[in-house]
């Protein structure tokens, strides 16, 4: 998920019909520059070298999403497939949650996330927590900083996590503190990409995979 304004100019993207290492190449209508979908970077054309701002998004089942966001709107363009249901992400070794942040590139395999539920890590100089909810198959990354201090999280019951510093209870997918001393605090989401493990590895050859260091 990307913002599509670059230097104050709004761009309109389409599928270019080209693939680069089996990965989608996007075309902007305004300058006809070619953009790598996975890198979010213009590879050719007038905007070569420009990057798109990533926007935090989450993949989960529709029931969980509308419960979390009762006022949500939804696209109604008609189906082009039927295979992407909850069971799809239950083959978790296929995908990674990919993070490029503060000069660091890290892949978090979904099978590891499914086992651990909550992973504390550091990307560059930024303390992050990666959360995974098995019920909705949602994976999410947040900064662990709250009021200038980094918290450490451990998995709790029913999609919740607790921080070691205060014992407060947080909703793991929303990153919102629900009870305890920090009630009402919200963790800052950090954009990440769901990607096929092999594709991510091709485009980020120098990145690390969490759990394989």
Partner 1 sequence: MKTTVALALLVATSSVLLGQQPMQSKRPAFNPRTLARAFRPIVDAPMRPGSEVGDDVVADSELVLGVVVEGKARAYPINQLTGPSREIINDKVGGKAIAATW
Q: Which stretch binds partner 1 (CB under 8 A): 70-78, 121-129, 146-154, 159-167?
A: 70-78
Among 46, 57, 164, 183, interactor with partner 1 by CB under 8 A? 57
**Residue 21 makes contact with partner 1 by CB under 8 A:** yes
Nearer to partner 1, 68 or 155 (CB): 68
**Number of chain positions touching partner 1 (CB under 8 A):** 68
8 Å CB contact between 16 and 26: yes
**Residue 65 binds partner 1, judged by CB under 8 A:** yes
In the structure encoding, which two tokens stand for residue 88, read together? 């799809």
Of 114, 150, 194, 201, the one binding partner 1 by CB under 8 A: 194
Q: Provide the terminal-to-terminal Cα distance of the chain, rounded to the nearest Å.
A: 28
Distance CA 3, CA 10 (A): 9
Please list, in sequence order, all residues whose beta carbon lies within 8 angstroms of the beta carbon of residue 171, skipping any fewer than 6 positions away: 159, 160, 177, 178
CB of 22 to partner 1, least distance (A): 9
Closer by beta carbon to partner 1, 8 or else 148: 8
**Least CB distance to partner 1 at residue 174 (A):** 10
Position among 7, 8, 82, 184 found at the interface with partner 1 (CB under 8 A)? 82
Identify the three-state secondary structure at position 72: coil
Q: Is 206 one of the binding residues for partner 1 (CB under 8 A)?
A: yes
Each residue 106-145 as x (binds partner 1 by CB under 8 A) or -, in order, gives -------------------------------x--------
Q: 103-133 burial, b for 16+ CB within 10 Å, e for fewer?
A: ebbbbbbbbbbbebbbbbbebeebbbbbbbb
Cβ pair 197, 109 in contact under 8 A: yes
Phi, psi of 66 (to 5 degrees): -75, -25
Q: Which residues sit opposite 115 in a β-bridge?
A: none
18/164 with CB nearer partner 1? 18
Which residues form the interface with partner 1 (CB under 8 A)? 1-5, 10, 12-21, 24-27, 29, 34, 36-37, 43-44, 52, 55-63, 65-66, 69-89, 105, 137, 193-194, 202-206
């Amino acid at each position: 998920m990307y913002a599509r304004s670059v230097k104050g100019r709004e761009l309109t993207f389409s599928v270019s019909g080209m693939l680069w290492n089996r990965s989608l190449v996007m075309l902007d209508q305004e300058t006809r520059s070619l953009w790598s979908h996975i890198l979010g970077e213009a590879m050719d054309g007038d905007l070569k070298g420009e990057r798109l701002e990533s926007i935090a998004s989450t993949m989960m089942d529709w029931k969980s999403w509308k419960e979390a966001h009762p006022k949500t709107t939804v696209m109604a363009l008609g189906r082009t497939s039927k295979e992407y249901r909850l069971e799809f992400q239950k083959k978790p070794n296929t995908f990674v949650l990919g993070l490029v942040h503060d000069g660091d590139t890290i892949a978090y395999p979904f099978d590891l996330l499914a086992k651990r539920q909550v992973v504390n890590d550091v990307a560059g100089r930024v303390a992050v927590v990666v959360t995974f909810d098995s019920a909705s198959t949602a994976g999410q990354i947040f900064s662990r900083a709250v009021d200038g201090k980094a918290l450490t999280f451990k998995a709790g019951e029913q999609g919740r996590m607790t921080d070691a510093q205060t014992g407060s209870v947080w909703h793991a997918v929303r990153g919102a503190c629900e009870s305890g001393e920090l009630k009402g605090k919200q963790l800052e989401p950090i954009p990440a990409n769901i990607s096929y493990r092999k594709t991510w590895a091709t485009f980020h050859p120098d990145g690390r995979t969490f759990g394989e260091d």
